[in-house]
Structure 1
Amino acid sequence: MQVRDATATKSVRQGWTGRTRVALVVALVALLTASMPASGVYADQSGGDNNSGQNALNAQQRAVLYNIARDTWKFYSADVDPNTHLPLDNIGPNGKRGTYTSAANVGVYLWAVVAAHDLGLISREGARAEIAFTLIEVAKLARDHGFLHQWYDTTSGHVIRNPGDIDCATETTPTFDNCYFISNVDNGWYASGLIVVRSAMPELRGLVNTLLNPMDFGLFYDSRPQTACNVNPAVTGNQPTGQMFGGYYVGLPVEQGSNWQHYYHNGALYSDPRISAYIGMGLHQMPGDVWWRSWRTLPPKQCPTDPDFSWQGQWPVGGYWQVYKDPQSGKRFNVWEGHYTYPGSDLTFIPTFAGGMFEALMANLVVPETTWGTKSFGLADRRAAQVQVKYTTEQLKYPVWGMSPSSTPDDTGGYGGYGVEGLRFPYFGSGADASHPNLGLSQCHGCATEDVVTPHASFIALDVLPQRAYTNIQALRRLYPDLYRPDGGFYDAVNPTTGGVGHRDLVLDQSMIMAALDNALNQRKLQRHFAADPASAAAHRYLSFEKLSIADTGNGDNSGGDSTGNNNG
């Protein structure tokens, strides 16, 4: 069914008619595409129908979700700057607009436009025009090695230090602030959006490649010598080499002087920065080392110089050391296949750093983890959602679940880190031992609070717990009617105890909802777009290769029972 939303296509910008704009885009795309070689197409390996069997969404449920997609798509007509065609970070109450954007915002906005086309909410011509105008503008932005900076002013396209802060043109000497910081994870989401567009709309391949080809994710990889230890004591600062850095500072390389003190590693593989590992390996810019040298849980010591991770949320940690032979290089790696166990049960899972839902499940919106990684991170995705449901309903006694970083549940325009950390379970910090164990649910303890629910968490869980997620979405609308409106879908956050709502929309969170609905209603179509691109090959190989130390007994999402019940670990 093809539905055209006149407001969504934004037919008039600065006096241009939609037909004139589209014609210009077609001409520009033709010029860019003509000089670019066609890339190969990776065979679709995303699997068959989504939500099959007893967990399948029925026709009525699908109709409800489709209407939510239609309402959510209306948000974008107000969100995109009419002059620069860049997506705004957020729109708040009383017309307040967050006129700044980031690499992640651009990437997920591309997801949303593709999803809207897949769902019949915008014509192909309209979607192509919207994407092309944005990418043409992105091509004008200041970049480094093809990567986008941390923040841009959407009214001018200039790099800014922070939202509402100075124009970075006033800072002429490199320093350790956001004028010079290039984020690993944000550019991972940006690249994922480019890859999805390249697959979904091959006619834009040339334009996409002009932006994607200069990007070298190897810049984020710590290629310094590795040891058999968890870290390398020979490297200044005793660094965990072979992992990804959280980013880099332009003109301030990590190996010079004391610069290393300003850098950090994305040590936890099961968190949102893994999107950059998938893409970096897929583009042959990072070796498979990054997969094995990053950690599932923080590991016990292998050498006296290794860090003491007994402060982590759960300690002692269950698991074992497993030697893997890398499927690409043939190198051998000793990997700590650790896991947490939900207290009082046999439910085993891989923790994220701060317990937020998008840390666990955002990558699955584009990378087919649930299909390719049935014994690795696809299984971990389902367990992460089960832990959220179990803890929120049984320990916190909330009527709804879904914690993930989001706006605050008020109209202050604040943003907070929310996640299931198991703060109600015993925690002894670095003093934990077998007699007094830490029993938390995340790697960090106290990095997030557990008092806010965000709707996007339910939508990204549709792929792993479809019936539970759908029921929760309906409960959010029923119990908190102020949380939803027809001209934009869900607002960003609610306090499940007081009912307080943050009347604010983030393009990041709304785009996760659009992507999740494309997958739920179109047999994982956004995942299939990514899977059809050659850059997905490494993700498929590594997800299907590894077996985590969490067992699967086949317990899934039973609509008639507790899908978070005990599993044999």
Structure 2
Amino acid sequence: MRSTQRGLLAVAATLALLVPTSAAYAGQPPGQGGGHGGHGGDRTLQRYAADTWESLEAMTDERTGLVADNIEGDLSGASGYTSPTNIGGYLWSTVVARDLHIISRTEARQRMARTLETLSEIERHEPSGMFYNWYSPADGSKLTTWPADGSVVHPFLSTVDNGWLATALRVVAEAEPRLADEADALYESMDFGWYHDLDARPEVGINRGGFWDEEPPGCSVPGNYGDDGPDVYYTCHWYDTTVSEARIATYLGIANGQIPAEGYFGTYRTMPDQGCDYAWQEQRPTGEWHEYLGVPVYEGVYDYRGSKLVPAWGGSMFEALMPDLFVPEADWGERSWAVNHPATVRAQIAHGLDEAGYGYWGFSPASDPFGEYREYGVEEIGISADGYASDVERTDVDRGYDGCREATNPSPAFGDGVVTPHAAFLALPYARTEAMSDLAGLERELGAYGPGGFYDAVAVGSGTVAERYLSLDQSMIMAAIGNELRDDMLKRYFVDRSFERAVRPLVEMLEFGSELG
């Protein structure tokens, strides 16, 4: 990747010199071996990938190359809207489909070229190079009214959504050299410094959730973190927790020299253990204070059924593991992600099989089997005390906060658990046998499988299936299978030498307090 390196901090550059570039990722083509877990189940994973690709193909407009957000279970009725994340997911899924020989190299190149051409033409925020959050798949127009009901859309530029599109552009540029110029041109025009608030905390900056280029109703903060152009209107919140899918934008901004290296240490593991000041969080954490590049960090963890882990905000799988599809966090972070990722997976399995007794596991935001869309997770490994529930009934677990908040529901009876197949796929590197068993049951016993692969979610108690496919969730499945069958292929495409030199030393510094019980 020939990304622009603008103003990378000297401290990061100095650290990079101390770390040799790993041939396992930077500059090396993906391997053609049997993946992390040997050959057991490889044919099944290949079948899953081929069927999942059918849904993504059905969602994609042939003229624009833009994938819809979702489609019905019979592969009809694709939605009239898409997002940068959806488009990015389609691009990396096309690479996976090619490398798994589901489609030909020629077809893959033609599909990606069509998408890149549309991306080069659609409206975006020119000073930052960022893309708006909602477009029409049919013609690429920016949406100002919602297709389903005509309600007003205030065009927004999301930090995390642009992060996933930029991720895909990096993958395409390395995976298909004939399209490298087009993919690089789009990537290099995207400046993640526009999202980074240097004054967010006394010690260090963190990213806002995004911005509008016109003042929206409700809360917003006028400002301009970029180099030029008029003020924009930022969200009133930041992405301030470490275990979040939004960390992909921080990685990209640091690698490009658009975000200071210290920004990697700006987010919270948990809220600090300071009396009752943070008693609103799920539990009282334990941990120690560390300092990285002059930034003080409370390395807090939560206890869950014998393990210690850094929680996500809502306790879902994709918050924890989606960035790990592209950034080799567990390989670089031996004292952090290498323990926290398997601890998260173990917690998800323990909740589904032991604590809640659903018989299945894997909890992440997805289609609601009884509605449209809902967040699902393991609440006790989420920071928010009213975080993502794992069942239809939205059962709240409250074990209190020692000395500050009395427990209101320490031993809950869980109801109709909602399992999301893409969450099990994300667990493949850390619990392949358990993931394959879980998925087999969802397909054979609960019928949560259709012409486009696994349906988006299933309420396992009632057997109610959300017979719908979401392009984001399907693209996570494609990425996870591609990595498993082709030796981390997407990480190899994504990570170049400059990225590794800028980011790896920061990841290696981390010392979470995570422990596998």
Q: TM-score range by the shorter chain?
A: 0.7 to 0.9
Distance 2:323 2:138 in 1: 30
Q: Secondary structure at the match of 1:459?
A: helix
Equivalent residues in 2 for 1:482-501, closer than 5 Å: 483-485=448-450, 487-501=451-465
Equivalent in the alignment of 1:220: 195
Equivalent in the alignment of 2:507: 543
Give the counterpart of 2:280 among 311, 314, 325. Answer: 311
Matched, 1:467 2:433: yes
Q: 1:37 to 1:542 in 2, by over 3 A?
A: closer
Shift of 1:158: 1.3
1:433 counterpart letter in structure 2:
G
Q: Which has the higher contact order (CA 8 A, sep 6+)?
A: 2
Q: How many residues align?
A: 471
Equivalent in the alignment of 1:99: 80
Equivalent in the alignment of 1:124: 105
Equivalent residues in 2 for 1:233-244, closer than 5 Å: 242-244=205-207
Matched, 1:433 2:403: yes
Give the counterpart of 2:115 among 134, 140, 143. Answer: 134
Shift of 1:178: 4.8
Q: 1:68 to 1:87 in 2, by over 3 A?
A: same
Matched, 1:372 2:332: yes
Distance 2:145 2:247 in 1: 25
State the superposition RMSD in angstroms: 3.3
Equivalent in the alignment of 1:182: 157
Distance 2:233 2:141 in 1: 28
Equivalent in the alignment of 2:59: 79
1:97 counterpart letter in structure 2:
A
Shift of 1:247: 0.6
Distance 1:62 1:459 in 2: 13
2:441 counterpart letter in structure 1:
A
Equivalent in the alignment of 1:235: none
Q: 1:312 to 1:38 in 2, by over 3 A?
A: closer
Distance 1:477 1:147 in 2: 39
Distance 1:261 1:530 in 2: 29
Matched, 1:254 2:221: yes
Identity among equivalent pairs (%): 33
Matched, 1:291 2:264: yes
Q: 1:226 to 1:406 in 2, by over 3 A?
A: closer
Equivalent residues in 2 for 1:4-403, closer than 5 Å: 44-46=23-25, 57-93=37-73, 95-144=76-125, 145-161=128-144, 163-164=146-147, 178-224=153-199, 226-227=201-202, 242-252=205-215, 254-255=221-222, 262-301=235-274, 308-315=277-284, 317-324=285-292, 326=293, 332-343=294-305, 345=306, 347-403=307-363
Equivalent in the alignment of 1:6: none
Shift of 1:517: 0.4
Q: 1:107 to 1:537 in 2, by over 3 A?
A: farther
Shift of 1:498: 0.6
Q: Give CA deviations for 1:102-135 in whole Å, capped at 9, x if unaligned.
A: 0100111111011111111122221111101001
Shift of 1:73: 1.4
Mind listing any 5+ residue stretches in structure 2 that lack a counterpart? Answer: 6-20, 225-230, 381-388, 390-394
Q: CA contact under 8 A between 2:205 and 2:263: conserved in structure 1?
A: yes
Q: 1:439 to 1:221 in 2, by over 3 A?
A: farther
Q: Secondary structure at the match of 1:353?
A: coil
Q: CA contact under 8 A between 1:318 and 1:339: conserved in structure 2?
A: yes
Equivalent in the alignment of 1:418: 376
Q: 1:504 to 1:301 in 2, by over 3 A?
A: same
**Greater Rg, structure 1 or structure 2?**
1
2:262 counterpart letter in structure 1:
D
1:298 counterpart letter in structure 2:
M
Distance 1:377 1:162 in 2: 41
Q: Give CA deviations for 1:23-78 in whole Å, capped at 9, x if unaligned.
A: xxxxxxxxxxxxx98999x764449999x99x963434111111111221122221
Shift of 1:370: 2.1
Q: CA contact under 8 A between 1:370 and 1:379: conserved in structure 2?
A: yes
Q: CA contact under 8 A between 1:314 and 1:439: conserved in structure 2?
A: no
Distance 1:533 1:506 in 2: 33
Q: 1:39 to 1:223 in 2, by over 3 A?
A: closer
TM-score, structure 1 as length reference: 0.76
Q: CA contact under 8 A between 2:210 and 2:235: conserved in structure 1?
A: no
Q: CA contact under 8 A between 2:273 and 2:286: conserved in structure 1?
A: no
Q: CA contact under 8 A between 1:90 and 1:506: conserved in structure 2?
A: yes
Q: CA contact under 8 A between 1:313 and 1:438: conserved in structure 2?
A: no
Q: Secondary structure at the match of 1:69?
A: helix
Q: 1:357 to 1:268 in 2, by over 3 A?
A: same
Shift of 1:256: 5.3
2:78 counterpart letter in structure 1:
R
Q: Secondary structure at the match of 2:121?
A: coil
Q: Secondary structure at the match of 2:299?
A: strand
Q: 1:541 to 1:450 in 2, by over 3 A?
A: farther
Distance 1:450 1:243 in 2: 38
Distance 2:349 2:269 in 1: 21
Distance 2:158 2:118 in 1: 20
Equivalent in the alignment of 1:525: 489
Distance 1:493 1:111 in 2: 22
Equivalent residues in 2 for 1:549-564, closer than 5 Å: 549-551=513-515
TM-score, structure 2 as length reference: 0.83
Q: Give CA deviations for 1:261-316 in whole Å, capped at 9, x if unaligned.
A: 942100102111001011111111001222112111122459xxxx932111112x
Q: Give CA deviations for 1:189-235 in whole Å, capped at 9, x if unaligned.
A: 0100001111111221110122111111011101127525xxxxxxx
2:180 counterpart letter in structure 1:
R
Distance 2:25 2:213 in 1: 37
Distance 1:205 1:146 in 2: 18
1:227 counterpart letter in structure 2:
P
Distance 1:369 1:541 in 2: 11
1:308 counterpart letter in structure 2:
D
